[in-house]
Every structure is written in C-alpha cells, then in structure tokens.
Amino acid sequence: MIRLFTAIAVPPEIGQGLLSRQHGIEGARWRPLEAFHITLRFIGDVQEPVAAELDEALAEIDTPAFDLELTGAGVFGEGVDIHAVWAGVGDSAPLRHLQKANERAARAVELKPEGRLYTPHVTLAYLKRPAVPEVGAWVQANNLLHSPSFRVDRFGLYSSWRTHEGSAYRLEREYPLRR
C-alpha cells in the first residue's frame, strides 16, 4: 500500500513569505518550506497496481499552465476542534479545472469520489486543542495575506507517510501542463 495525493508545489520564493507568518500559536506544528503545496486530490492508501493506473490517467490530463496567487488565511475546524491554519488560494477557474481533471482521473481508476468541498489552500500548521483566542488573533493578523502571482506549469503525484514531526512527502511523478 502507498498513501498518495496530487498537488501543486508552492515555489520556494512564495513559501519564504509564508514561513515568516509561522508564529503566534502555542503548540502549533508549523510545516517546513518543502511541505508547502496546494492539494488537488487526496487519494489515500492504494495498492501499487492502482497507483500505476492512476499515474497513467494523470499523465493524460491536458490543461494549459496558469497563474495563481495566495490570498487570505483561515482555519479548519471550530473552537477547540480547530486542527489546521492555512493560507488561502485566490479564486481561479484554471485551478478548478485542473482539480476536476484530477478528480476524473481518480474516478477513472475506480477510486471513491471525494466527498468534501474543494477548498484550495496551503496548510501552514497543524493544531491540537489550540487556544482559540490565539488562533483568532493569528487569522486576524494574516487575513490580508496576498502573495505575488506565480506560474503553475506542472503538478505532481506525491506519496505521504507519518513521522514524529508530522507527515513527510515525496514527489513520485510530475505532470507538465501545456505551455
């Protein structure tokens, strides 16, 4: 079994701006620069043959490259159940198109449909029973986040595994977008 997801890597120059925002929440497990990504489709645990079929389906995606910006900040969860803080992604029809193409590729290899509403974001920290006022202050301090525009000319298939420091990721395959 291999745990997979598809994502767009955040360029290091954009990620540097996110690193400077990683403070102010006690106990937060801040993510390192190399972990910053925008998930397109969480796949989960699959057998190697399914992963190979998915790779073939993803390689068939034919969409043009596009530009993105990070905007705003938010959380997943409510109250003491808040479990992550994130940087948002500006509204983008090409991003939605690419995400839907990834969803179609997953369904083509008979993976279950994603049941959650797609909320493009970059996870900055995972939280466990945080102080709600600290999280609220962090969101308020970062809600005007706005990165420079960056070019998305590829996406990747990543494997994931858990470590003592949190999840670690490895790029398994990249898929170029049409220029």
Q: Does 121 qualify as catalytic in the annotation? A: yes
* 106/114 Cα distance (integer angstroms): 9
Q: Kindly tell me if the per-residue pLDDT of 81 is higher than 80.
A: yes
pLDDT on residue 89: 98
Find tokens 């049941």 and name the residue.
115
Q: Does 164 qualify as catalytic in the annotation? A: no
Measured over the CA atoms of residue 98, residue 104, residue 110 and residue 112, the dihedral's sign is positive
Q: Kindly tell me if the per-residue pLDDT of 69 is higher than 80.
A: yes
Residues whose CB is less than 8 angstroms from the CB of residue 177 and which lie 6 or more positions away in sequence, other chains included? 63, 64, 65, 66, 98, 152, 153, 154, 155
Average of pLDDT values for 30-55? 97
Measured over the CA atoms of residue 8, residue 9, residue 15 and residue 21, the dihedral's sign is positive
pLDDT tens digit string along 106-122?
999 999 999 889 999 99
Q: The domain spanning residue 88 has which CATH number?
A: 3.90.1140.10
pLDDT tens digit string along 119-167?
999 999 999 999 999 999 999 999 999 999 999 999 999 999 988 777 8
Average of pLDDT values for 53-77? 98
Cβ atoms of residues 71 and 86 within 8 Å? no
Compute the chain's Rg from CA coordinates: 16
Total number of domains constituting the chain = 1
> Cα dihedral angle (16, 61, 156, 19), rounded to 10 degrees?
20
Domain housing 24: 2-176
Q: Which of 23, 121, 146, 164 is catalytic?
A: 121
Measured over the CA atoms of residue 143, residue 168, residue 134 and residue 136, the dihedral's sign is positive
